[in-house]
Amino acid sequence: MKKILFWGGLVLSLLSCSTRKYQNTQDLINATVWMQNSGEYKALTLQAYQLAQLRLTEILKSKDITDKPRAIVLDIDETILDNSPYQAYQIKNHKSFNQKDWNSWTSLAKAEPIAGALDFLHFAKDKGVEIFYLSNRYESERAATLTNLQKKNFPFADNEHLILKTHQSNKEERRQKITERYNIVLFFGDNLSDFSDLYYYNNNGKTAAEKVLENPKVFGRRFIILPNAMYGDWESTLYKKNMHKKLRTDQIKINSLRDFKK
Ligand SMILES: [Mg+2]
């Protein structure tokens, strides 16, 4: 069983790498312009963190069901740090995602905080809630990531609270590890797989949208989602489903659309 899980994980990791390289930079323009320039995007992230603060206040008032200390778990990219300058670089240089350019960006340690994140995280810290950053950045990016978080004054920005990718993108094993010692009361992410294994690459035959609608009440209560129109599983899943067709990415996206006459 373990072996099957290992090879399954490996195939999914390879698929995930190969789909990101098909990214068409034309597709990224509107999303990146929206995230860098619109007031709406900033308002949405502020809204997410301000409502999270109300929710955390409510949680802290309720009776604790375990002896474990309370913690919250956050993804990093497009959840607490803004990487849109990297996407802008891709667009302007007509480049697909590649690890080398990504590393050049993260090694600068100058990503700005997502609006609302810092105020909320300092509130959580002041209330005695521990904070873990759970990211699929690589261990080779650890030093620069920590420097970035520290420079921008993120609380708990230390090795113990920064959990990076080891052998798989699926975060479930790493979430379980935190759960051994902490009562995780809120999760934050821009991708559904930041919350639960249930959403990881549509692994039970249902679409992500179907799974979200099946259990809508977890959003805003236990899972706080941040908007990300630039990239994510919502996009890579489409490419994976159509891999054998050898279509351009824009055509794959157009084919997925439902118009009002069909
Ligand atoms: Mg992310």
For 215-238, give the DSSP string: SGGGBTTTEEE----S-SHHHHHH
Indicate the angle between helix axes 233-241 and 2-20, nearest 10 degrees.
100
pLDDT at 246: 80
- How far away, in angstroms, is 87 Cα from ligand 1 center? 13
- Would you kindly state where each structural domain of the chain is located, as residue ranges? 23-231
- How far away, in angstroms, is 165 Cα from ligand 1 center? 13
pLDDT at 7: 42
Q: Is 78 helix (H, G, I), strand (E, B) or coil?
A: coil
- Beta carbons within 8 Å of 258's beta carbon, 6+ residues apart: none
Where residue 13 falls among pLDDT bands split at 50, 70, 90? very low
Cβ atoms < 10 Å from Cβ of 205: 6
Q: How far is CA 251 from the centre of its chain?
A: 26
pLDDT at 9: 41
Where residue 203 falls among pLDDT bands split at 50, 70, 90? low
- How far away, in angstroms, is 262 Cα from ligand 1 center? 34
CA angle, residues 184, 185, 188, in degrees to nearest 5: 90
- How far away, in angstroms, is 79 Cα from ligand 1 center? 6
**First-last CA distance in the chain:** 44
- How far away, in angstroms, is 260 Cα from ligand 1 center? 32
Average pLDDT, the chain: 89
pLDDT at 199: 87
Where residue 37 falls among pLDDT bands split at 50, 70, 90? very high
CATH-assigned architecture of domain 23-231: 3-Layer(aba) Sandwich (3.40)
pLDDT at 229: 96
Higher pLDDT, 115 or 169: 115
Residue 196: pLDDT above 70? yes
